[in-house]
Protein backbone atom coordinates (compact mmCIF):
# COMPACT_ATOMS: atom_id res chain seq x y z
CA UNK A 1 0.00 0.00 0.00
CA UNK A 2 1.38 3.42 -0.97
CA UNK A 3 1.17 5.94 1.86
CA UNK A 4 2.18 8.95 -0.24
CA UNK A 5 -1.36 10.16 -0.87
CA UNK A 6 -2.66 8.99 2.48
CA UNK A 7 -0.59 11.15 4.86
CA UNK A 8 -0.51 14.92 4.98
CA UNK A 9 2.05 16.77 7.06
CA UNK A 10 1.24 20.24 8.39
CA UNK A 11 3.70 22.59 10.08
CA UNK A 12 2.42 25.62 11.96
CA UNK A 13 4.88 28.43 11.12
CA UNK A 14 3.71 30.38 14.17
CA UNK A 15 4.72 27.57 16.52
CA UNK A 16 7.82 26.26 14.71
CA UNK A 17 11.12 27.46 16.18
CA UNK A 18 13.30 26.14 13.36
CA UNK A 19 15.27 23.92 15.75
CA UNK A 20 15.54 21.08 13.19
CA UNK A 21 14.57 18.36 15.68
CA UNK A 22 12.09 16.96 13.12
CA UNK A 23 14.95 16.45 10.67
CA UNK A 24 17.17 14.87 13.31
CA UNK A 25 14.69 12.35 14.80
CA UNK A 26 12.72 11.26 11.73
CA UNK A 27 14.05 8.12 10.01
CA UNK A 28 13.56 9.93 6.68
CA UNK A 29 14.00 13.46 8.08
CA UNK A 30 16.35 15.09 5.55
CA UNK A 31 14.19 13.81 2.70
CA UNK A 32 10.91 15.01 4.24
CA UNK A 33 11.83 18.25 5.98
CA UNK A 34 14.05 21.25 5.32
CA UNK A 35 14.70 24.50 7.15
CA UNK A 36 13.83 27.72 5.31
CA UNK A 37 13.57 31.42 6.03
CA UNK A 38 10.01 32.76 6.11
CA UNK A 39 9.21 36.29 7.18
CA UNK A 40 12.61 36.70 8.81
CA UNK A 41 12.28 33.48 10.81
CA UNK A 42 13.79 30.03 10.28
CA UNK A 43 11.09 27.36 10.15
CA UNK A 44 10.75 23.78 8.97
CA UNK A 45 8.77 23.00 5.86
CA UNK A 46 7.78 19.81 4.11
CA UNK A 47 10.12 19.11 1.19
CA UNK A 48 8.68 15.76 0.08
CA UNK A 49 5.94 14.00 2.04
CA UNK A 50 6.20 10.89 -0.16
CA UNK A 51 9.02 9.60 2.06
CA UNK A 52 6.86 9.76 5.23
CA UNK A 53 6.27 6.33 6.79
CA UNK A 54 3.68 7.65 9.26
CA UNK A 55 5.67 6.81 12.40
CA UNK A 56 4.80 10.17 14.11
CA UNK A 57 8.23 10.47 15.75
CA UNK A 58 8.43 14.04 14.44
CA UNK A 59 5.15 14.90 16.16
CA UNK A 60 6.32 13.36 19.45
CA UNK A 61 9.67 15.19 19.51
CA UNK A 62 8.43 18.59 18.31
CA UNK A 63 8.47 20.52 21.58
CA UNK A 64 6.36 23.48 20.38
CA UNK A 65 3.84 20.99 18.87
CA UNK A 66 4.13 22.61 15.44
CA UNK A 67 3.79 19.38 13.41
CA UNK A 68 0.55 17.59 12.69
CA UNK A 69 0.06 14.46 10.61
CA UNK A 70 -3.29 13.55 9.10
CA UNK A 71 -3.88 10.08 7.80
CA UNK A 72 -6.38 9.49 5.05
CA UNK A 73 -7.26 5.94 6.06
Q: How far is CA 4 from CA 12, 32, 58, 73, in A?
A: 21, 12, 17, 12
Strand partners, 36: 43
Give 60-70 pLDDT, tens digit per residue: 999 999 999 99
User: Can you give the pTM of this predicted structure?
Assistant: 0.87
Give 25-63 pLDDT, tens digit per residue: 999 999 999 999 999 999 999 999 999 999 999 999 999
Element spanning 67, H or E: strand 67-71
Segments making up each domain of the chain, as ranges: 7-71
Q: How far is CA 50 from CA 7, 17, 33, 42, in A?
A: 8, 24, 11, 23
Give 3-23 pLDDT, tens digit per residue: 446 899 999 999 999 999 999
The band of 72, judged by pLDDT with boundaries at 50, 70 and 90, is: confident
CATH topology (fold) of 7-71: Alpha-Beta Plaits (3.30.70)
Amino acid sequence: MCLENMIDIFIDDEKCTGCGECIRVCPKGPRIYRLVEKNGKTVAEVADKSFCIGCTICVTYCMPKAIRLERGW
